[in-house]
Structure 1
């Protein structure tokens, strides 16, 4: 939860208790409890409304399948383009990733070097007289 540990929350609570003071502290804690309760009720209401609108398949829905963090676009495209068995393709991809060594220079430097070599080998740099 935002990198907050129990110790940090405890320190924040102690500082808040000193700043608010003992006379107003019960009032503010009651307000915080009401806020948390209303947020929980709103979340439950939204879940109930989804269940009502989606019908019985809402309970059968596997929410982990819909998590976008589990999808790798490269794997999806690779599987769509190949006619092979996805399990064989995934195993071959993992083996290729393990055996492939990292590129010491990035793609930008490779493109720049290729562009400079093509420019130096063929013709002078392009010049637009209307642009200046």
Structure 2
């Protein structure tokens, strides 16, 4: 729930003890318990109301199927626009690779250095183009 592990809850509890102090901690712990109880009662009330309004069909609903986190809008649009079978395995799109500009300043300098036989020296800094950034 909310990514809280036991260690994180323990750390929050220790911080609460130091911040609130032992005098006020029981009061705030009771308030937290009332809040959690209220949220749980609210959720159960909503579930009971849904059960009343839907009738016996409530137990037959596959709630995992209605989970909005499972939907991928790109897949839904792709399936709606294509004439292919929606249950078939989708093809992987071909990824276009960027072409290399053979006339870039970097490659021109590199070819010039190679032609002159001047590799980059051990203590020499790499070329830097201040206008490029």
Distance in 1 between residues matched to 2:95 and 2:82, nearest whole Å: 24
CA RMSD of aligned residues (A): 2.4
Distance in 2 between residues matched to 1:46 and 1:38, nearest whole Å: 12
Which structure shows the higher helix fraction?
Answer: 1
Map 1:110-125 onto structure 2 (within 5 A): none
Query: Relative contact order (C-alpha < 8 Å, sep 6+): which is higher?
Result: 1
Q: Give the corresponding residue for 2:73.
A: 73
Q: Decide which structure has the larger Cα Rg and report it.
A: 2
Map 1:1-132 onto structure 2 (within 5 A): 1-88=1-88, 91=89, 93-94=90-91, 96-97=92-93, 100-104=94-98
Count of equivalent residues: 99
Structure 2 vs 1, CA of residues 83 and 36 (structure 1 numbering), >3 Å: closer, same or farther? same
Structure 2 vs 1, CA of residues 55 and 19 (structure 1 numbering), >3 Å: closer, same or farther? same
TM-score by length of 1: 0.61
After alignment, is 70-79 or 44-53 more displaced? 70-79
Q: Offset at 1:50?
A: 1.0
Structure 1 residue ranges without an equivalent (≥5): 106-132
TM-score by length of 2: 0.60
> What is the SS of the residue equivalent to 2:16?
helix
